[in-house]
Amino acid sequence: MGDAEIIPIGTRGRPGRGTGKQPSSAARGLANGGRLAPAAKAPTKPARAAAGPTPEPEPETAAVAPAPRPAATTRDRGPMSGIPASDWLAAIQHGAREVFGEQWEPQLARFLAFLRRRVTGDYVVDEYGFDQEITERFLMATLRPIAEKWFRIEVRGAENIPAEGGALVVSNHSGTIPVDGLMTLVSIHDHTGRFLRPLGADLVFRLPFVSSLARKSGATLACSEDAERMLNAGELVGVWPEGFKGIGKPYGERYKLQRFGRGGFVAAALRTGVPIIPLSVVGAEEIYPLVGNVPALARLLGLPYLPITPFFPALGPLGLVPLPSKWLLEFGEPIRTDELDEGAADDPMLVFNVTDQVRETIQQTLYTLLMQRQSVFK
Amino acid sequence: MGSAGRVVLVTGVSRDLGRRFARAIAADPSVDRVVGVDAVPPRGDIGDVSFVRADIRNPVIAKVIVKEDVDTVVHMSVISTPGSAGGRNTMKELNVIGTMQLLAACQKAPGLRALVVKSSTTVYGASHRDPAMFTEDMEPRRTPRAGYAKDVIEVEGYVRGFARRRPDVRVTTIRAANVVGPEVTSPLTSYFRLPVVPTVLGYDPRLQLLHERDLLDVLRHAITAEVAGTFNVAGDGMLMLSQAVRRLQRPTVPLPSFALGRVRSTLRSARIADISPELLALLTYGRGVDTSRMRTELGFEPAFTTAEAFADFAAPLPPTGGYADRLLGRMAQSLPEPAAPAAVTLERPEPSYARGVDRG
């Protein structure tokens, strides 16, 4: 064995040439143990030297090579193949059991029925576009873990919300993005079973996606017509009279209530004779500490402000994750308006007085809650 | 007032709804004679209606009213699409100048006792600052500056002026919601007849509809009922646009509003559908009108809810999508437990959809 037979393994470092016309060197080596490798070498040389009489040797090698090779069978070796169908079925059944519990078949059927109902449009919305099914099954289900696990919301005084009939929940507003509204929505639903119908600024209904989500979740425009219509229909209406002044205030001014609009919400409550329930939210101020604003860009985009927080836009989308502050929601004693006489809503002094009363109640409750709070995150 | 021997003049009978309305009241025993007026002859059968070819844009109409001894005028020729009439200028002329001339003629007619105007809820416009439900006393939040919506506002302005000048004439304005029905051709129905429905990305407007039969009924009711005023007329309930398209089982293409503008012009030049600016506003922000005055004062109850009217409109339209539903249906069938639907109906709080469409 003077000169050892070199059996080529692989492509010898060159990229494989599996072009389909000629087997790659690796394939040739494997096909007949390298025995033909020297023979195959000879005819290639003249092929390179002269361009003219080359076609004959090539058919020869082509004729020799395939004869001893057995018919190539390829086996699909994808990661999903080779698992029998019964295993698939078992896995799906197991998964369904995990998700839907032991009664997974009727559960799944019910879920499919729900999906079909959605897909065929076989559901009802009320005149404001409120879609109760999607709010309960989708919006609430998404928000609940955030409310319970991330913000660990503690609700106090939920018994102050009447079980039925119209009522107006008036809350402070904070947090750069109106997350507090969403959290109030889910907290009230979980504690009383009632749906809060929020009144939103007209910006909400101008923005794409936000507007359709707002209507589906029961919101409507904050105007006296809609507020009175809802209150007359016995709905639980939520209003954030500070508006953009409240959620867009800098972090340094946290928990200082801004002006309460023009008292329109009080006039609406007086006209319809429903109680006003003050709500104080502690914790929402810290989720996105607003340290700056880009007024020029905000004006360009038609937004009331463009927030800069310590993490946004510095961390990009990661900066949109709210800080996990501990939240306290306290519903105060209802302020009755049905005892006042008929024309009370047209008495501006009375309206201002009631507005101030609501504002003071919320402010004092905020201070009390802040005293009780151990730290921002606990 | 001895309703026997009434003579009703109906404008706009060349259009389908006008013609059918004229025929319907001609069959009414309390109406003696019906005169149909339009610039072009009606295309279909007008039955007992005597047709007078007259353009309401010129003073001939006054002679017709006096000669025929008309006591009730039903103005139905405020049109929302130029259609065969020509371009937007013709449409505006027909709507605004036509109404002015007609009202001028009515003012000179001593025997006139009632005027019924078919208006539209388009007068309220559609914007993000709208209240959820417009009552008759509310003004549009953003006054439309062009198109059909502006025409309707001007027409209603002239009608109010007429009502002031002729207090002896009972003026009833019917603000009808978007009319749908198997035979209605309007911007909204031709929009829904598209095989693939373009929508505005990120918006899901509320729609309120009125069935064509209810429109004819309410106009007939307005002739006979001795009630003056302005009334919103719409079917009960709401449909979201997404919901409506799902019930049609047609696929949608959500497009940002600027891209939809291009689709609009393409569709218009291809004469497939005319998504007018006011329709685009409706398809973005939606609109709802309060119909309590229709019930209490006018005393009219539409036979179709919004959902039923839409179902009736959708019934002859072949679905072009609905694959997801069929797939889900097949999956649901393969589940061995048939007890599920009962559980679902128990779980649902009220059979709220029972009044709606009766299709699976």
Would the pLDDT of B349 be above 50?
Answer: no
pLDDT of A49: 44
CATH number at residue A273: 3.40.1130.10
DSSP three-state, residue B25: helix
Out of B200, B247, B343, the one facing A121 most closely (by C-beta) is: B247
- Distance in Å, alpha carbon of A110 to nearest chain B alpha carbon: 6
pLDDT of A10: 63
Q: Which residue has the higher pLDDT, B332 or B111?
A: B111
What is the C-alpha radius of gyration for chain B, rounded to an integer number of angstroms?
A: 22
Nearest CA in chain B to A106: B340
- Distance in Å, alpha carbon of B111 to nearest chain A alpha carbon: 41
Please judge whether B249 and A123 are an interchain contact, meaning their C-beta atoms are less than 8 angstroms apart. no
* Distance from C-alpha of B182 to C-alpha of B64, rounded to nearest angstrom: 34
Please judge whether A124 and B336 are an interchain contact, meaning their C-beta atoms are less than 8 angstroms apart. no
Which domains are seen in chain B, by residue range?
6-184+208-235+288-302 (3.40.50.720)
Q: Which residues of A touch B249 (CB under 8 A)?
A: 120
Q: Which residue has the higher pLDDT, A288 or B80?
A: A288
Contact between residue B231 and residue B176 where contact means Cβ atoms under 8 Å apart: no
Portion of chain B with pLDDT greater than 70, in percent: 90
What are the helix and strand counts (H, E) for chain A? 15, 9
- Distance in Å, alpha carbon of B334 to nearest chain A alpha carbon: 10
* Distance from C-alpha of A194 to C-alpha of A206, rounded to nearest angstrom: 27
Residue A8 falls within a domain, yes or no? no
Of the pLDDT bands very low, low, confident and very high (cuts 50, 70, 90), residue A333 is very high
Would the pLDDT of B34 be above 70?
Answer: yes
**Which run of H or of E encompasses B31?**
strand B31-38
Of the pLDDT bands very low, low, confident and very high (cuts 50, 70, 90), residue B163 is very high
Residue A43 falls within a domain, yes or no? no
Over residues B222-274, the pLDDT tens digits come to: 999 889 999 999 999 999 999 999 999 999 999 998 888 888 888 888 878 88
pTM over 0.90: no
Report the 10 Å Cβ neighbour count for B135.
15
Q: Which residue has the higher pLDDT, B160 or A104?
A: B160
The reply to whether B323 touches chain A by the CB within 8 Å rule is no
Residue A104 falls within a domain, yes or no? no
Residue A295 falls within a domain, yes or no? no
pLDDT of A87: 87
Which segments within A54-128 are labelled E, that is strand? Answer: none
Please judge whether A212 and B204 are an interchain contact, meaning their C-beta atoms are less than 8 angstroms apart. yes
Would the pLDDT of A85 be above 60?
Answer: yes
Please judge whether A207 and B347 are an interchain contact, meaning their C-beta atoms are less than 8 angstroms apart. no
pLDDT of B339: 47
Please judge whether B286 and A129 are an interchain contact, meaning their C-beta atoms are less than 8 angstroms apart. yes
Q: Mean per-residue pLDDT for B193-201?
A: 93
Would the pLDDT of A143 be above 70?
Answer: yes
Residue A44 falls within a domain, yes or no? no
Q: How much is the ipTM here?
A: 0.85
Structure tokens that stand for A344 in this block: 């009370």
Over residues B307-323, the pLDDT tens digits come to: 999 999 999 998 888 78
Closest CA to A205 of B251, B279, B152, B141: B141
Q: Mean per-residue pLDDT for A121-149?
A: 93
Please judge whether A225 and B135 are an interchain contact, meaning their C-beta atoms are less than 8 angstroms apart. yes
- Distance in Å, alpha carbon of B353 to nearest chain A alpha carbon: 6
Out of A119, A124, A202, the one facing B128 most closely (by C-beta) is: A202
* Distance from C-alpha of B29 to C-alpha of A375, rounded to nearest angstrom: 82
Segments forming the whole domain that contains residue A263: 152-286+324-372
Query: Distance of CA B261 to CAs A210, A301, B266, Å?
Result: 22, 21, 9
Out of B131, B242, B331, the one facing A225 most closely (by C-beta) is: B131
- Distance in Å, alpha carbon of A204 to nearest chain B alpha carbon: 8
Average pLDDT score over chain B:
87
Which region among B20-34, B196-210, B314-328 has the lowest average model confidence (pLDDT)?
Answer: B314-328
pLDDT of A351: 92
How many residues are listed for chain B in this entry?
360
Out of A113, A129, A209, the one facing B340 most closely (by C-beta) is: A113
Q: Taking an 8 Å Cβ-Cβ cutoff, which residues of chain A contact chain B? A: 105-106, 108-110, 112-116, 118-129, 131, 202-203, 205-212, 215-216, 220-221, 223, 225-226, 229
Please judge whether B244 and A121 are an interchain contact, meaning their C-beta atoms are less than 8 angstroms apart. yes
Structure tokens that stand for A236 in this block: 């639980």
Portion of chain B with pLDDT greater than 90, in percent: 59
Written in H, E and C, the secondary structure of B158-212 is HHHHHHHHCCCCEEEEEEECEEECCCCCCHHHHHHCCCCEEEECCCCCEECEEEH
Out of B201, B322, B341, the one facing A208 most closely (by C-beta) is: B201
Of the pLDDT bands very low, low, confident and very high (cuts 50, 70, 90), residue A100 is confident
Contact between residue B72 and residue B82 where contact means Cβ atoms under 8 Å apart: no
Q: Mean per-residue pLDDT for A338-351?
A: 87
- Distance in Å, alpha carbon of B57 to nearest chain A alpha carbon: 40
- Tally the domains of chain A: 1
Out of B204, B246, B256, the one facing A215 most closely (by C-beta) is: B204
Q: Mean per-residue pLDDT for A223-243?
A: 95
Residue A366 falls within a domain, yes or no? yes
